[in-house]
Amino acid sequence: MSKNFRDIGKRLTIAGVGRFQVMALLQAARYYLVHGDLDKAKSFGLNRAIFYAWAKYYGPHTQQWRRARLEEILRRGVVRERKTKCPEGMVEVLGECVEESPRGYYVISGREQSPREYDEKIVGKINKVIDYNRVWSVAIDYVREFPEWILRDQQKFYKVVYEPVRVTFFKEILQGRKPRPSQWLLDKIKSLEKTYIESRKKQKTLFEY
Protein backbone atom coordinates (compact mmCIF):
# COMPACT_ATOMS: atom_id res chain seq x y z
CA MET A 1 0.00 0.00 0.00
CA SER A 2 1.45 3.37 -1.01
CA LYS A 3 2.03 6.20 1.43
CA ASN A 4 -0.36 8.36 -0.60
CA PHE A 5 -3.10 5.76 -0.26
CA ARG A 6 -2.55 5.57 3.52
CA ASP A 7 -2.63 9.37 3.80
CA ILE A 8 -5.91 9.48 1.89
CA GLY A 9 -7.31 6.85 4.24
CA LYS A 10 -6.37 9.00 7.24
CA ARG A 11 -8.07 12.06 5.69
CA LEU A 12 -11.25 10.08 5.18
CA THR A 13 -11.16 8.69 8.72
CA ILE A 14 -10.67 12.15 10.24
CA ALA A 15 -13.60 13.50 8.18
CA GLY A 16 -15.77 10.56 9.24
CA VAL A 17 -16.22 9.32 5.68
CA GLY A 18 -16.33 5.57 5.21
CA ARG A 19 -18.48 2.59 4.28
CA PHE A 20 -21.65 4.20 5.63
CA GLN A 21 -21.32 7.05 3.12
CA VAL A 22 -20.41 4.64 0.30
CA MET A 23 -23.52 2.58 0.98
CA ALA A 24 -25.81 5.63 1.17
CA LEU A 25 -24.32 7.13 -1.98
CA LEU A 26 -24.51 3.98 -4.11
CA GLN A 27 -27.99 3.09 -2.85
CA ALA A 28 -29.16 6.61 -3.75
CA ALA A 29 -27.59 6.32 -7.20
CA ARG A 30 -29.21 2.90 -7.63
CA TYR A 31 -32.65 4.27 -6.77
CA TYR A 32 -32.20 7.36 -8.93
CA LEU A 33 -31.16 5.38 -12.02
CA VAL A 34 -34.17 3.06 -11.74
CA HIS A 35 -36.86 5.51 -10.54
CA GLY A 36 -35.53 8.97 -11.39
CA ASP A 37 -36.65 10.73 -8.18
CA LEU A 38 -33.69 12.47 -6.51
CA ASP A 39 -35.38 13.33 -3.19
CA LYS A 40 -36.68 9.79 -2.69
CA ALA A 41 -33.31 8.47 -3.81
CA LYS A 42 -31.64 10.41 -1.00
CA SER A 43 -34.17 9.07 1.51
CA PHE A 44 -33.71 5.50 0.27
CA GLY A 45 -29.92 5.77 0.28
CA LEU A 46 -29.74 7.00 3.88
CA ASN A 47 -32.39 4.52 4.99
CA ARG A 48 -30.49 1.56 3.57
CA ALA A 49 -27.16 2.77 4.97
CA ILE A 50 -28.72 2.93 8.44
CA PHE A 51 -30.29 -0.50 7.99
CA TYR A 52 -27.07 -2.22 6.91
CA ALA A 53 -25.06 -0.48 9.63
CA TRP A 54 -27.56 -1.79 12.18
CA ALA A 55 -27.54 -5.28 10.65
CA LYS A 56 -23.74 -5.39 10.76
CA TYR A 57 -23.58 -4.82 14.51
CA TYR A 58 -26.88 -6.18 15.79
CA GLY A 59 -28.41 -8.36 13.12
CA PRO A 60 -27.68 -11.97 12.20
CA HIS A 61 -24.18 -12.47 10.77
CA THR A 62 -24.86 -15.79 9.11
CA GLN A 63 -27.18 -14.74 6.29
CA GLN A 64 -26.53 -17.25 3.55
CA TRP A 65 -26.39 -14.69 0.74
CA ARG A 66 -23.70 -12.68 2.53
CA ARG A 67 -21.50 -15.73 2.85
CA ALA A 68 -22.14 -16.96 -0.68
CA ARG A 69 -19.54 -16.56 -3.40
CA LEU A 70 -20.06 -13.76 -5.92
CA GLU A 71 -20.57 -16.16 -8.84
CA GLU A 72 -23.24 -18.03 -6.92
CA ILE A 73 -25.11 -14.81 -6.11
CA LEU A 74 -24.99 -13.77 -9.77
CA ARG A 75 -26.42 -17.10 -10.96
CA ARG A 76 -29.43 -16.91 -8.68
CA GLY A 77 -32.42 -15.71 -10.66
CA VAL A 78 -30.37 -14.33 -13.55
CA VAL A 79 -32.20 -11.44 -15.29
CA ARG A 80 -35.57 -12.45 -13.82
CA GLU A 81 -36.68 -10.09 -11.06
CA ARG A 82 -36.85 -11.69 -7.64
CA LYS A 83 -40.18 -11.43 -5.85
CA THR A 84 -39.75 -10.14 -2.31
CA LYS A 85 -42.56 -10.72 0.16
CA CYS A 86 -42.48 -7.96 2.77
CA PRO A 87 -43.98 -7.93 6.29
CA GLU A 88 -47.22 -6.04 6.83
CA GLY A 89 -46.66 -2.28 6.94
CA MET A 90 -43.66 -2.40 4.62
CA VAL A 91 -43.32 -1.96 0.87
CA GLU A 92 -40.95 -3.62 -1.57
CA VAL A 93 -38.47 -1.24 -3.18
CA LEU A 94 -35.72 -2.65 -5.41
CA GLY A 95 -35.97 -6.02 -3.69
CA GLU A 96 -35.73 -4.49 -0.20
CA CYS A 97 -38.49 -4.23 2.40
CA VAL A 98 -38.84 -0.70 3.74
CA GLU A 99 -41.37 1.32 5.69
CA GLU A 100 -42.77 4.37 3.93
CA SER A 101 -43.86 7.65 5.53
CA PRO A 102 -47.03 9.58 4.55
CA ARG A 103 -44.76 11.92 2.56
CA GLY A 104 -43.39 9.01 0.53
CA TYR A 105 -39.97 8.94 2.16
CA TYR A 106 -38.51 5.94 3.97
CA VAL A 107 -38.54 5.18 7.69
CA ILE A 108 -36.53 3.16 10.22
CA SER A 109 -37.54 2.79 13.88
CA GLY A 110 -40.32 5.34 13.43
CA ARG A 111 -38.00 8.02 12.04
CA GLU A 112 -38.26 9.34 8.51
CA GLN A 113 -35.06 9.74 6.51
CA SER A 114 -35.57 12.99 4.61
CA PRO A 115 -33.50 14.44 1.74
CA ARG A 116 -32.37 17.16 4.15
CA GLU A 117 -31.01 14.56 6.57
CA TYR A 118 -29.15 12.88 3.68
CA ASP A 119 -27.60 16.25 2.85
CA GLU A 120 -26.47 16.64 6.46
CA LYS A 121 -25.12 13.14 7.06
CA ILE A 122 -23.84 12.23 3.60
CA VAL A 123 -23.34 15.34 1.47
CA GLY A 124 -21.93 17.39 4.36
CA LYS A 125 -19.46 14.69 5.36
CA ILE A 126 -18.23 14.07 1.82
CA ASN A 127 -17.85 17.80 1.13
CA LYS A 128 -15.25 17.94 3.91
CA VAL A 129 -12.95 15.85 1.73
CA ILE A 130 -14.08 16.24 -1.89
CA ASP A 131 -16.83 18.03 -3.83
CA TYR A 132 -20.01 15.99 -3.44
CA ASN A 133 -21.31 16.81 -6.92
CA ARG A 134 -18.19 15.27 -8.40
CA VAL A 135 -18.61 12.17 -6.24
CA TRP A 136 -22.29 11.87 -7.16
CA SER A 137 -21.41 12.00 -10.87
CA VAL A 138 -18.83 9.26 -10.40
CA ALA A 139 -21.32 7.15 -8.43
CA ILE A 140 -23.92 7.46 -11.18
CA ASP A 141 -21.38 6.42 -13.82
CA TYR A 142 -20.25 3.47 -11.70
CA VAL A 143 -23.72 2.14 -10.89
CA ARG A 144 -24.83 2.65 -14.51
CA GLU A 145 -22.27 0.02 -15.55
CA PHE A 146 -24.61 -2.64 -14.13
CA PRO A 147 -27.84 -3.86 -15.79
CA GLU A 148 -31.15 -3.09 -14.14
CA TRP A 149 -31.79 -6.71 -13.15
CA ILE A 150 -28.82 -6.43 -10.79
CA LEU A 151 -29.89 -3.04 -9.42
CA ARG A 152 -33.38 -4.37 -8.65
CA ASP A 153 -32.03 -7.27 -6.59
CA GLN A 154 -30.98 -6.67 -2.98
CA GLN A 155 -28.50 -9.51 -2.81
CA LYS A 156 -26.85 -8.83 -6.16
CA PHE A 157 -26.56 -5.10 -5.49
CA TYR A 158 -24.83 -5.68 -2.15
CA LYS A 159 -22.47 -8.38 -3.36
CA VAL A 160 -21.77 -7.22 -6.92
CA VAL A 161 -22.05 -3.42 -6.85
CA TYR A 162 -21.33 -2.27 -3.29
CA GLU A 163 -19.00 -4.83 -1.73
CA PRO A 164 -16.09 -4.62 -4.24
CA VAL A 165 -15.71 -0.84 -3.73
CA ARG A 166 -16.86 -0.29 -0.15
CA VAL A 167 -13.29 0.35 1.06
CA THR A 168 -11.72 1.89 -2.04
CA PHE A 169 -14.48 4.04 -3.59
CA PHE A 170 -13.52 7.42 -2.14
CA LYS A 171 -9.79 6.63 -2.14
CA GLU A 172 -9.82 6.01 -5.88
CA ILE A 173 -11.66 9.28 -6.58
CA LEU A 174 -9.22 11.22 -4.42
CA GLN A 175 -6.39 9.67 -6.41
CA GLY A 176 -7.94 10.96 -9.62
CA ARG A 177 -9.34 7.62 -10.77
CA LYS A 178 -12.90 6.49 -11.43
CA PRO A 179 -14.05 3.30 -9.68
CA ARG A 180 -15.15 0.72 -12.23
CA PRO A 181 -16.31 -2.89 -12.07
CA SER A 182 -13.63 -5.40 -12.96
CA GLN A 183 -13.60 -6.57 -16.57
CA TRP A 184 -13.99 -10.13 -15.30
CA LEU A 185 -17.24 -9.17 -13.59
CA LEU A 186 -18.62 -7.30 -16.60
CA ASP A 187 -17.79 -10.26 -18.86
CA LYS A 188 -19.45 -12.64 -16.40
CA ILE A 189 -22.63 -10.55 -16.37
CA LYS A 190 -22.75 -10.42 -20.18
CA SER A 191 -22.20 -14.18 -20.37
CA LEU A 192 -25.06 -14.85 -17.96
CA GLU A 193 -27.35 -12.51 -19.89
CA LYS A 194 -26.47 -14.28 -23.15
CA THR A 195 -27.12 -17.69 -21.61
CA TYR A 196 -30.48 -16.53 -20.26
CA ILE A 197 -31.58 -15.07 -23.59
CA GLU A 198 -30.60 -18.25 -25.44
CA SER A 199 -32.48 -20.43 -22.95
CA ARG A 200 -35.58 -18.24 -23.34
CA LYS A 201 -35.40 -18.61 -27.12
CA LYS A 202 -35.22 -22.40 -26.77
CA GLN A 203 -38.24 -22.41 -24.45
CA LYS A 204 -40.21 -20.32 -26.94
CA THR A 205 -39.31 -22.70 -29.76
CA LEU A 206 -40.56 -25.68 -27.72
CA PHE A 207 -43.91 -24.00 -27.02
CA GLU A 208 -44.39 -23.27 -30.73
CA TYR A 209 -44.79 -27.00 -31.50
Binned average pLDDT, 10 residues per bin, the chain of 209 residues = 73 91 98 98 97 75 57 63 79 93 95 97 96 98 96 93 96 95 93 84 59
DSSP state of 104: S
pLDDT on residue 78: 62
pLDDT of 209 reads: 47
Domain spans in the chain, listed from the N-terminal domain onward: 3-182
Distances in Å between the Cα of 103 and the Cα atoms of 32, 113, 114 are 18, 11, 9
For residue 141, the model assigns a pLDDT of 98
Cβ-based neighbours of 157, under 8 Å, separated by 6 or more:
27, 30, 94, 95, 150, 151
Question: What residues pair up with 107 in beta bridges, in sequence order?
Answer: 99, 112
Cβ atoms of 192 and 78 within 8 Å: the answer is yes
Residue 76: what pLDDT?
Answer: 64
Return the sign of the alpha-carbon dihedral for residues 178, 173, 167, 36: negative
DSSP SS3 for 149: helix
- The candidate with the shortest Cα–Cα distance to 143, out of 180, 94, 183, is 180
